[in-house]
Structure 1
């Protein structure tokens, strides 16, 4: 084989390899939900001494424009110095965001859902050691013709106390993509639907919706024990 032909083939292989890297990188980026955020969260009831909870939601998600399906990662973390004991994490959907499944968790009966919500799952945790976290894969749908919010309360195992609650916090679009296969949504951005009958996708308002803007406050909900505190966020205590 001549050196010229060898050089040409080598150049082709290098180009192909570079293209493959670009394709793989693009695919990974499309699935990346970005860093986790506790935006919209606050302390409700005082946690046991040495225990401090927080939750995290992705900064961005992507909604399939055809199926309306989306994947969300919900994380609960013990930032304290002592183990938590038995607790539970709730994943609750509002408005256009409907929680279809949370891996390893149980659905909340419709009669026990908080007022204003459309779906929810309860995740039981036997113990969360100091500095440790636990993440759950959430399958959901998002109707882009509506607003959509999610709520993550962290409670005692019997639901009588809520130590921490993130949300209801909205997801919304800042880049309408009617001809694209998916629409990106950002955490803390209120999705503003267009007028009925329009072919356009919802537009996004500039501000972050207040914590109480769920259409209705989270109320006591029977055995589920989901509730929303109207109190202003208090300082975290160990």
Structure 2
């Protein structure tokens, strides 16, 4: 019995150690709502917001990275049905969001390269929901991500974080991985370690500017949609606009 009890204790201890390690590995670390703001007023008692990791890491050989996107209701009443969009820009491409539906290319917001829509039936007061985002990041470009929280029909955007950049001021292309910080413009580099010229818009055209968020709260024109955004005077309304000749998300 002593031997059996000892074996059981050892097995239990091993299980606890494995569980603890797994939980720690999934921990995204400190999160931040940097670059986020309320756009349309949410229903009374509902306070929606999102957060992203303050730091991510990009594998320099595969360009793969993992991002945790979290939406929370800090209000006193349940949210009802809402949706979260996870959209990539420039060098950051969203390849998959667990439990969400890919947005067709024709329905992507202007200037973006990829996106997923996550339907949420209801988010109780004080609760949050996190999504595992698989992405790639081309370190030769700047890269941004955007998290709008909308009504299910997309007519209202209760909150929008971004497009906010991830980046590094001093990339190390010859290292195994490059750490990127939220709210930091990436300094593009070539595989040899030299800074790439300009950075550009990431789509090869070099002619479009994207709206940015942050301390300066700068909104730059983005074609007709950008003009509508500036006229409205509220960052994020462009998410509810339809692209010419395309249906809404």
What is the TM-score with the length of structure 2 in the denominator? 0.71
Deviation at 1:212, TM superposition (A): 4.9
Query: 2-side partners of 1:214 and 1:93: how far apart?
Result: 17
Deviation at 1:119, TM superposition (A): 0.3
CA 1:214–1:60: 2 relative to 1, 3 Å: farther
Superposed, 1:219-238 pairs within 5 Å as 219=239, 220-221=241-242, 222-224=247-249
CA 1:214–1:77: 2 relative to 1, 3 Å: farther
Note if 1:57 corresponds to 2:33: no
Question: Structure 2: where are the runs of 5+ without partners?
Answer: 1-19, 197-213, 227-237
Deviation at 1:138, TM superposition (A): 0.2
Deviation at 1:199, TM superposition (A): 1.5
CA 1:119–1:38: 2 relative to 1, 3 Å: same
Deviation at 1:180, TM superposition (A): 1.6
- Aligned residue among 61, 71, 85 for 2:66: 71
Q: Tell me the equivalent position of 1:190.
A: 185
Larger Rg: 1
Deviation at 1:192, TM superposition (A): 2.4
Deviations 1:56-83 (A, max 9, x none): 0000000000000000000000000000
Query: 1-side partners of 2:219 and 2:57: how far apart?
Result: 23
Q: Tell me the equivalent position of 2:11.
A: none
Are 2:173 and 2:191, in contact at CA under 8 Å, matched by a contact in 1? Answer: no
Q: Tell me the equivalent position of 1:95.
A: 90
CA 1:46–1:213: 2 relative to 1, 3 Å: closer
Are 1:169 and 1:187, in contact at CA under 8 Å, matched by a contact in 2? Answer: yes
Residue correspondences, number: 193
Q: Secondary structure at the match of 1:111?
A: helix
- Aligned residue among 163, 170, 174 for 1:168: 163
- Aligned residue among 192, 196, 201 for 1:199: 192
Deviation at 1:156, TM superposition (A): 0.4
Note if 1:120 corresponds to 2:115: yes
- Aligned residue among 122, 135, 142 for 1:140: 135
- RMSD of aligned residue pairs (Cα, Å): 2.5
Query: 1-side partners of 2:131 and 2:31: how far apart?
Result: 13
Q: Secondary structure at the match of 2:248?
A: helix
